[in-house]
Homo-oligomer: A and B are copies of this chain.
Amino acid sequence: MRILLIGAGGTLGTATHKAFTARGHEVVGVGRTGGDLVADVTDPQQVARLYAEAGPLDAVVVAAGDAVFRPLSELTGDDFAATLRGKVLSQVELVRQGARHLPPTGSFTLISGILTEQPIVGGAAASTANGAVEAFVRAAAIELPPQRINGVSPTVVEESLPTYGPFFAGMEAVPASRAATAYVRSVEGAQTGQVYRVH
């Protein structure tokens, strides 16, 4: 399959790229500053350009999303708005526009995260965004068929512990390769409306 991978240069994106390539798929990697194609998917016009440049695709996979981490008492309204733009509206836009671009057999795999159900101090904006993404996946799944849509909800990955470890004290990390496996399951499987938890 020909797979558009958003966030290809990130920790999770790198592992996901490797997993898909190892299974014989062609990956078109997208990053904000580098990759096969360059786009900031929080800008709907750049999403349109991205699809125009990408050519035929069988799957769209998102392995990155922006969220502001800060104690609730310090999170501003703008922090919440930026997090919803960075992780929710961006992914919704990829699906909205992508639904017209992908064939009937196409699929979307979005990213949420463990904070949907298991909050951490400083993660209220990220939790809010993750909950939105998962509910969107379930809702879009009844209107997109025959196209499919699923989510992957990773916990913190081992490779990110130097940066995010302090936020996830006492929570088990998983190798990014395990989260990558969930993306393979979503893309190669037949299910829709699922959120694959990698916790």
Contact = CB atoms under 8 A, between A and B. Distances in A.
A123 to B, nearest CB: 6
User: In terms of DSSP, what is the predominant structure of the interface of chain A?
Assistant: helix
Contacts of A139: 72, 115, 119, 123-124, 127-128
A159 to B, nearest CB: 24
Question: Interface size bucket, A side?
Answer: 35 or more
B132 A72 contact: no
Interface in A75-128: 75-77, 80-81, 84, 88-89, 92-93, 96, 99, 115-117, 119-121, 123-124, 127-128
Nearest to A128: B136
A71 interface: yes
B93 A84 contact: no
A167 to B, nearest CB: 12
Q: How many copies does the complex hold?
A: 2
Nearest to A134: B131
A124 B140 contact: yes
27 contacts: A44-B77, A72-B96, A72-B99, A72-B139, A72-B140, A72-B144, A73-B99, A76-B96, A80-B88, A80-B89, A80-B92, A88-B132, A115-B135, A116-B131, A117-B138, A119-B138, A119-B142, A120-B142, A121-B142, A123-B139, A124-B139, A127-B135, A127-B138, A130-B135, A131-B131, A131-B132, A131-B135
Interface of A: 44, 71-73, 75-77, 80-81, 84, 88-89, 92-93, 96, 99, 115-117, 119-121, 123-124, 127-136, 138-144
